[in-house]
Structure 1
Amino acid sequence: MARFLLVFLFAVSLRLVFGDSSTTLDLLWPKPSQSKFGTEVYESPAPFYPSGGATQPKGPLTGLDITVKSTDESLNLTTDESYDLKVGGDGASITATTVFGAMRGLETFSQLIYHRPDGGLAINEVKSITDKPRFQYRGIMIDTSRHFLNLHTILTHLDAMVYSKFNILHWHIVDDQSFPYDSYTFPDLAAKGAYDHEHIYTQEDVKTVINYAYERGIRVIPEFDTPGHTQSWGAGQPDLLTPCYANGQPNGKYGPINPILNSTWTFLTSFYQEIDNVFRDNYIHLGGDEVRFGCWEGNPDIQAWMKKMGYTDYAKLEEYYENNLIDLVNKLNKSYVVWQEIFDNGLKIKMDTVIDVWKAGWEKEMDAVTKAGYNVILSSCWYLNHISYGEDWKKFYSCDPQNFN
């Protein structure tokens, strides 16, 4: 079957149709501010005969119609991102149920365009592309506690995510090393827990990231990992962390969040109410990984409380904390994600919990989690910070999240 070339001009008419209404705009592609080419390159495009059977150009292509069937602009786990794309001699068209599906179609359309030897742009005829995501959750996690990323870098990262149609930014915003989130309810958390006053994310910064992501069809799911991974919280919130003991005396070190104090739950209630107000996505990542029991085990107040409650296993104390935190989040009408340790430690958690699998041996873990009836996210295969030599992409592509039973 012969393929035909459609010459793509610099100025293209873009018609957007939402339901029964439509609007026509001038689409400059690529935008002049992002292009090294002048408009004269596209005014009189020369014929080009690519390999693969094309014999003569069929263009120019001067129009792209985009039809969006629904005016619903909500972005969540069930958002329809499917689209149909056609490119022919009578013009190009994208049809989608939602504006986010149209975004994915525009990304595919842009990637079909290529440079001609004479400096012009061209696109091959496309009879039909019908596309939809295999997985509704396609995320990348950034850790801004261990390694602070400035606002420009995060926004550039979001742009890069769009190219491959990722739709989740998992923002691991705080950890042991630093607390860069500038809380308006508890300003001392960042004032005393960040690396310094310059390495923080203001409320305006966070709003910018959330809005910038939404405009690109990306959800921002924040992670505030507790009760472990919280060393940076302690300076700004006295009595939050558990004092560690040695030889019956405090040794000056601190462990996980202290779950037995009423002040802890007063703080967490106010803090997560703020997080609910700031981060508009329905999901929040609660962490729950790598909780060290040593300070709990050595603290006499914790020991006395455990005895009073009839607990002999410190995993029960972890369960107590997690279930109370989940109840707190549920009251905010938030859904939640936790790391796999919550499941591995045998904690009795609610069935709407989403388990994030990150360790080796993920196939057995995924099998166990799904058989237990939980929804699951797989993170194990794609740790980009693990530096290696050679072709990483083969390893990344060979990991199929559904290849576990």
Structure 2
Amino acid sequence: GDGGSKVDVVRLEVKNPEAPLVFNVTEEYSIQLSAPTVLIKAPNQYGALHALTTLAQLAAPNTGGKRGQPSHWIPRGRVRDAPRFPHRGLLVDTARHYLPVEALAQTLDAMSWSKLNVLHWHLADDQSFPWASAALPRLARAGAYHPGATYSAQDIASVRDYAASLGIRVMVELDTPGHTASWAKGHPELVVPCRDDKGAVIPGEVGPLDPSKEATYDAVGALLGELAGLLPDALVHVGGDEVDPRCWASDPQLKQWMDAQGIKTFEQLQGAYMDRVLGMVQGLNRTAVVWQEVYDAARAASPAATAAAAAGAQPGTAASGGSRQGRLGLHPDTTIVHVWKTGQGHQLGAGAESSQQHRSSNAVQDWHQQGARASRSRRLAAAAGTGSRQGSTISHAAATPVTQPGSAAVATAQGASVAAGEARDLPWAQELGAVVTAGYRALLSAPWYLDWISWGEDWVKYYTAEPLSFSGTREQYARVLGGEACMWGEYVDAANLHSRTWPRAAAVAERLWSAASITDVASARLRLRAHRCRMVARGLPAGPVGPGHCVDGVEVSDQKQAEA
């Protein structure tokens, strides 16, 4: 206040304080900043929560105040606010490193302070399966790092309920058919073994799930059904990224099944698998979210089906004379496409071939010969060198330099089929534009991978990444639902989770909340510094934005400022 005015009351007027927490629920609010009463108006409790967050951000400590004076000052004025995008998320990875429930709760606190509203829980991956599923208990019993590094149904419910109390939805991801090496520890019958050029199984190496077995679909269906009972959110992420087809190509029984089904390419094989999985999600009355490879593979496998879906054909219907090849499981009405690739570093080498026939196996055999000779540490190092999300994928021969995530670029250069179109990636803005032009709704994460750390103020590149930077119509722009910052966990656990994530994720949060016209980096830096100091004052070890020092929740950069 000014002139000695004092705020005695903060009054909240909430029309519906028990609104259900669903996608696209309104989050708007208004604040009348005056004395002696600050008035907050909101249509529901979620807008009211955001208003209180804003009020706390506006309150500046009265560091030079005398006894009896207010401890904080707030400016006079009026605030009317609402988010630009309805989906503003943060992905956390509990497979590469187990994150205790307490760390997840602290993450939810920081998300609420930053007005993020979706926790994307990447539950399991190649490295571990930490979810203690009641339907398939052997997955965690054999696939978790440790019996204590698991999530029970009660743990998941506690995360769900605490998130809901903060206005945050929990979207779980069960990533298949790739990223499932941990499944093999408890259920080896569900994955395809990797074989060398003589047909011998390579010890310790497994491929994706086996799409030819009904047991695979029984298991996936049971897990999805169990998750749907634990988490009420309408969105279920089913993954579909980085499916390496080379172990599929090495398995004679799978190739025989493909021949019997009339499936000629691995893109069609992945499409057939995803068709079944997406049908399960629809049967649970949920909307599926898929990584962009699923869309890319379907587009490459059946352009006619993609066009038919965009034109309004019903999901699961035939689009090429009724053939299996023409089936397309994903559909704009029932599927959201998650764009994550930068579109750089996926170029083929000079003269490289890109055969999509599973019978073209010479390059696969050559690769397996190299892979069998290489040590596991060398394979993992090669996988890490490509920037792949698959930390445990079989190594890719370094015949073609790769500078950005593109785990299949080298494989394609050697002639192996790439199920998800990894060598045909577009820059992310073009990919996003193509997805929404085809009629699909989309989420964006490509410019917001927080685990790709770099020296300096890397938050600036997150803040300046404009989601709608492609040329499109108003209707197409409206299909971009928002996006997510991603903190993949290869090098992140509970010890450094918060310092790596915050306040960098808050830069993404502001980009997804604020108007596109708000782009000034200098003013954003001041807000981010102050936000970080508030986080530290609340007990969250957020990393510094730059040189300075937090005093009473405010950052100071020199002695004079501290004494002011």
TM range (shorter): 0.7 to 0.9
Look up the equivalent residue of 1:249 and give its one-letter code. A
Could you tell me how far apart the structure 2 residues matched to 1:322 and 1:129 are?
A: 46
CA displacement at 1:189 relative to structure 2: 0.8
Per the alignment, do residues 116 and 166 of structure 1 end up closer, same or farther by CA in structure 2, a change over 3 Å counting?
A: same
Structure 2 counterpart of 1:235: 185
Q: Is 1:121 equivalent to 2:121 in the alignment?
A: no
SS of 1:346's partner is: helix
* 1:143-166 deviation per Cα after TM superposition (whole angstroms, max 9, x unaligned): 110122111111111101111100
CA displacement at 1:95 relative to structure 2: 0.5
Could you tell me how far apart the structure 2 residues matched to 1:304 and 1:258 are?
A: 13
Q: Is 1:84 equivalent to 2:35 in the alignment?
A: no
Alignment of 1:226-375 (within 5 A): 226-246=176-196, 247-252=198-203, 253-347=205-299, 348=328, 349-351=330-332, 352-360=334-342, 361-375=427-441
* 1:64-115 deviation per Cα after TM superposition (whole angstroms, max 9, x unaligned): 1111112442111120100011111240011011110110011001111111
8 Å CA contact 2:224–2:281 kept in 1: the answer is yes
8 Å CA contact 1:225–1:285 kept in 2: the answer is yes
CA displacement at 1:301 relative to structure 2: 1.1
Taking structure 1 as the reference length, what is the TM-score of the superposition? Answer: 0.84
Q: Is 1:58 equivalent to 2:5 in the alignment?
A: yes
Could you tell me how far apart the structure 2 residues matched to 1:271 and 1:400 are?
A: 36
SS of 2:104's partner is: helix
* 1:200-224 deviation per Cα after TM superposition (whole angstroms, max 9, x unaligned): 1122211111111000000010111
SS of 1:317's partner is: helix
Alignment of 1:36-75 (within 5 A): 56-59=3-6, 61-75=7-21
Aligned match for 2:175, one of 222, 225, 228: 225
SS of 1:302's partner is: helix
Structure 2 counterpart of 1:391: 457
More helix by share: 2
SS of 1:139's partner is: strand
Q: Which runs of 5+ in 2 are unaligned?
A: 300-327, 343-426, 472-564
8 Å CA contact 2:238–2:290 kept in 1: the answer is yes
Could you tell me how far apart the structure 1 residues matched to 2:218 and 2:448 are?
A: 37
Aligned match for 1:101, one of 47, 58, 62: 47
Could you tell me how far apart the structure 1 residues matched to 2:17 and 2:75 are?
A: 30
* 1:232-286 deviation per Cα after TM superposition (whole angstroms, max 9, x unaligned): 0111123110122221233333210001111112222222111111111111110
* 1:302-351 deviation per Cα after TM superposition (whole angstroms, max 9, x unaligned): 11111111121111010000010000111111111000111112353211
Taking structure 2 as the reference length, what is the TM-score of the superposition? Answer: 0.61
Alignment of 1:79-228 (within 5 A): 79-118=25-64, 120-228=70-178
Look up the equivalent residue of 1:113 and give its one-letter code. A
With CA pairs under 8 Å and 6+ residues apart, which has the higher RCO, 1 or 2?
2
Structure 2 counterpart of 1:12: none
* 1:353-400 deviation per Cα after TM superposition (whole angstroms, max 9, x unaligned): 111111112111111111001111010111111121111121111101
Look up the equivalent residue of 1:206 and give its one-letter code. I
Structure 2 counterpart of 1:43: none
Structure 2 counterpart of 1:13: none
Could you tell me how far apart the structure 1 residues matched to 2:438 and 2:73 are?
A: 49
RMSD (CA atoms): 1.3
8 Å CA contact 1:223–1:287 kept in 2: the answer is yes
Q: Which runs of 5+ in 1 are unaligned?
A: 6-55
Q: Percent identity?
A: 36
CA displacement at 1:123 relative to structure 2: 2.8
CA displacement at 1:128 relative to structure 2: 1.2
Could you tell me how far apart the structure 2 residues matched to 1:118 and 1:204 are?
A: 48
8 Å CA contact 1:357–1:380 kept in 2: the answer is yes
Could you tell me how far apart the structure 1 residues matched to 2:27 and 2:76 are?
A: 20
SS of 1:235's partner is: helix
Could you tell me how far apart the structure 1 residues matched to 2:132 and 2:237 are?
A: 18
SS of 2:338's partner is: strand
8 Å CA contact 2:136–2:219 kept in 1: the answer is no
More strand by share: 1
Structure 2 counterpart of 1:35: none
8 Å CA contact 2:19–2:44 kept in 1: the answer is yes
Could you tell me how far apart the structure 2 residues matched to 1:398 and 1:237 are?
A: 45
Structure 2 counterpart of 1:38: none
SS of 2:189's partner is: coil
Moved more, 129-138 or 309-318: 309-318
SS of 1:321's partner is: helix
Matched positions, count: 351
